[in-house]
Amino acid sequence: MFKNSLGRSLIIFLTILVMLSACRSDLPKVELKAKQPAVEMPLQTASFLKDFESAILENIARSNAPGAMLAVAIDSNIFSKGYGYANKGTKKKNDEYTLFRLGSLSKGFSATLASILAENNQLDFDESVQQIIPAFKLKDSLQTSRITIKHLLSHSTGLPRHAYTNLVEDGISIDRIIPELASLDLIAREDSLYAYQNAAFGIIEPIFKQKTNSSYSKLLKEKICKPAGMHRTSVDYKKFQRDKNKAYPHLYASEAKGFVRSKLNNKYQKLPSAGGVFSSAKDMSIWLSILLGNHPEIITSEGLDRIFEPVVPTRSNKYYDRWSDKPAYYAMGWRVIEMENTTLYHHTGFVNNYRSEIAIDRKNKLGICVIYNAFVPEAREVVPLFLSKYHEHFRPDRNIISLAD
């Protein structure tokens, strides 16, 4: 009986094999295509990056910073890398995917989002802020009625410099800050004077909410990060805290100890449009490429033109204003520095002991972003150094900006 049962099982098994074989012979054959080779970076660009990277390593060593990240875009080529330590105590190293805090470099994302929405006819830069946010009031009712989205994003509302930034850093919501603006004395008529803001700039968030019924976080993800493949960029502080590949902030302790790890804080996470974005070197290299106009599916050249257009003069004694003898301005989310042969769009950032710099030269199709996980004065040298090295390799006949402070 056992033998008969075994024989029947064997017959059934062989029958199934024949049926499967017949089915497989009817399936269409799939040819595996060879992987497309990566486009090689031009030799001159590679040579420049090698030279500049050596200079950056020297800068980091001289600053005694624990670490940094670097992102570069030249034409359609991008480069990203992490240097030094994410955590000096554990010797964990930075790489191109390590998360850093951007600080006020976040403002560039906010202006770009506004321009994307403007291209989709969801808002207008010349719209009255009060008509969108009725609670918005200044001490002068006529000036209140004239304030537009453009004024908020260009720091030209007439409010005093850093008005209620302390409330932003204390984690007070923008909905609670807006009514307090009416108590402040105005220092100028709108459009006439540049005075840097965080609170007023951040009113763009409730404007976005009113116009799209979406949060800043959701818009950032859907309009920029997801279509661009910037998967490490967000404003989620809890996610940042949990992430195992993040650069910790460091604070200078003493000449003997140098920089030591300091605590993370959540400043600006209640108002991420002004300073709460997290990103990596890899993602920031893509961001630079977007700003150079290489991703019209995200934002067109015309959309970029809108946010880079100068709005208000910004001459001061700041180091970046001394890079050129020509006029300097603030656009929307960007400083505008007129150079001898081009225009530089620039911003700095500082939050929680992270120090950042970003610059775009649209004419020559190049951009740079550097972030240190410590506050170091050497950060201000990086953009001039980048432009100097670039002109040595590509434009030896052109003027360069001085490293002099």
pLDDT tens readout for residues 243-281: 999 999 999 999 999 999 999 999 999 999 999 999 999
According to the model, what pLDDT value does residue 40 have?
A: 73
According to the model, what pLDDT value does residue 8 have?
A: 53
> Is the pLDDT score of 338 beyond 50?
yes
Higher pLDDT, 390 or 3: 390
pLDDT tier for residue 215 given thresholds of 50, 70 and 90: very high
Query: Is residue 12 within 8 Å of residue 41, measured between CB atoms?
Result: no
Around Cβ 3, how many Cβ atoms within 10 Å?
7
Q: Which of 141, 114, 100, 121 is nearest to 283 (CA)?
A: 100
pLDDT tier for residue 29 given thresholds of 50, 70 and 90: very low
172: three-class secondary structure by DSSP: coil
> Is the pLDDT score of 14 beyond 60?
no
188: three-class secondary structure by DSSP: coil
Burial string for 95-116 (b: 16+ CB within 10 Å, else e) reads: bbbbbbbbbbbbbbbbbbbbbb
Instruction: Say what the pTM is.
Output: 0.88
Place of tokens 């480069």: 79
Around Cβ 156, how many Cβ atoms within 10 Å?
27
According to the model, what pLDDT value does residue 105 have?
A: 98
In the CATH scheme, what is the homologous superfamily, with its name and number, of domain 43-122+215-393? DD-peptidase/beta-lactamase superfamily (3.40.710.10)
Place of tokens 């486009």: 39
CA dihedral 336, 392, 349, 282 (to 10 degrees): 110
According to the model, what pLDDT value does residue 401 have?
A: 61
Q: Which of 403, 395, 372 is nearest to 57 (CA)?
A: 372
Give helix 106-119 / helix 301-308 axis angle, nearest 10°.
130
According to the model, what pLDDT value does residue 296 have?
A: 98
Q: Do the bridges between strand 312-313 and strand 278-279 make them parallel or antiparallel, or are there none, so unpaired?
A: unpaired
Instruction: Look at the chain and count its residues.
Output: 405
Mean pLDDT, range 319-342, rounded to an integer:
92
Q: Which of 215, 177, 217 is nearest to 198 (CA)?
A: 177
According to the model, what pLDDT value does residue 16 have?
A: 43
CA separation for the pair 348, 356 (Å, rounded) = 6
The C-alpha angle 65, 229, 47, rounded to 5 degrees, equals 55
Burial string for 54-84 (b: 16+ CB within 10 Å, else e) reads: eebeebbeebebbbbbbbbbbeebbbbbbbb
pLDDT tier for residue 1 given thresholds of 50, 70 and 90: very low
- In terms of C-beta density within 10 A (0-12 exposed, 13-18 middle, 19 or more buried), how is residue 264 classed? middle
DSSP 22-56: HHHHHSPP-PPPPPPPPPPPPHHHHHHHHHHHHHH
Around Cβ 253, how many Cβ atoms within 10 Å?
12
> Is the pLDDT score of 150 beyond 50?
yes
pLDDT tens digit string along 158-175? 999 999 999 999 999 999
Q: By percentage, how much of the chain surpasses pLDDT 70?
A: 88
> Is the pLDDT score of 402 beyond 60?
no
Q: Give every strand in the sheet of 77-87, ordered side by side.
A: 92-93, 77-87, 67-74, 366-372, 354-361, 343-351, 335-338, 328-330, 312-313
Residue 358, both tokens: 């970003």
pLDDT tens digit string along 40-99? 788 889 999 999 999 999 999 999 999 999 999 999 999 999 999 999 999 999 999 999
According to the model, what pLDDT value does residue 23 have?
A: 39
Higher pLDDT, 15 or 132: 132
According to the model, what pLDDT value does residue 398 have?
A: 58
According to the model, what pLDDT value does residue 321 have?
A: 83
Higher pLDDT, 390 or 5: 390
Give the start-end residues of each E strand in 193-264.
Answer: 250-254, 258-261
Residue 22, both tokens: 């017949």
Place of tokens 């410590």: 374
